[in-house]
Amino acid sequence: DTEVTQTPKHLVMGMTNKKSLKCEQHMGHRAMYWYKQKAKKPPELMFVYSYEKLSINESVPSRFSPECPNSSLLNLHLHALQPEDSALYLCASSRDSGLVVNEQFFGPGTRLTVL
Amino acid sequence: AQSVTQLGSHVSVSEGALVLLRCNYSSSVPPYLFWYVQYPNQGLQLLLKYTTGATLVKGINGFEAEFKKSETSFHLTKPSAHMSDAAEYFCAVRWRRSQGNLIFGKGTKLSVKP
């Protein structure tokens, strides 16, 4: 299984809602990533989890809260988002995030619209 | 400052023509280099990567790229474009002492005309 799955595919939420994005991989990868991609722009790194610990937070607002319940799962909890947070949210995984280079496998993304 | 640049936000070729997508990096130490492709409304798929060793790297779908240290470049090529190659292509780097962050270029949209 060389797949990263993300649910839901699409999400529409109001600014007062709380929702969660889910990412799953069964490749035994120990590093998992959240990226945000605005239209016609490259992905921007948000968070990195390495061995289920948050290792990088790229100064992301606290209305985005990541969680790594186990080595296969990565969640992104959303609360009180703004319309400018509308974007494609991509999850990725790699064998590890250390100095050994491993390519990142990306999921199909969740298209988020904040009204 | 370290950076990655893709020259040309939009490249258009005819079917069967050579595809050349340019990527340059700015760093005193060569990074690890990647090319990803993104089809509309999809995630990113790795085409190929360069870490060490042979500087000509072959990837999937007939693409290849050559690492040229003297030119700080990692251009992506394909001898003959196919309609299915129409997509967004991202060059990405990982600096050698970083903790796994991929830094992406701005992307090049490839159009293929029949």
pLDDT at A72: 95
Look at strands A73-79 and B73-78 and give their pairing. unpaired
Using alpha carbons only, give the angle B42, B48, B64 rounded to the nearest 5 degrees: 115
Residue A76 · residue A64 · CB < 8 Å = yes
Cβ neighbour number for residue B23 with a 10 Å cutoff: 24
Q: For residue A13, which amino acid is it?
A: M
Closest by alpha carbon to A32, among A100, A79, A102, A85?
A102
- Tell me: the pLDDT tens digits for B20-76? 999 999 988 888 899 999 998 889 999 999 988 889 999 999 999 999 999 999 999
Q: Nearest by CB to A106, which of B44, B97, B106?
A: B44
pLDDT at B61: 93
pLDDT at B95: 80
CA A43 to chain B, closest CA, distance in angstroms equals 7
- Give the chain A residue whose CA is nearest to the CA of B91: A42
pLDDT at B37: 97
Residue A58 in this model has a pLDDT that exceeds 90: no
- Tell me: the pLDDT tens digits for A35-51? 999 998 999 999 999 89
Chain B residues inside the 8 Å CB shell of A101:
32, 49, 51, 94
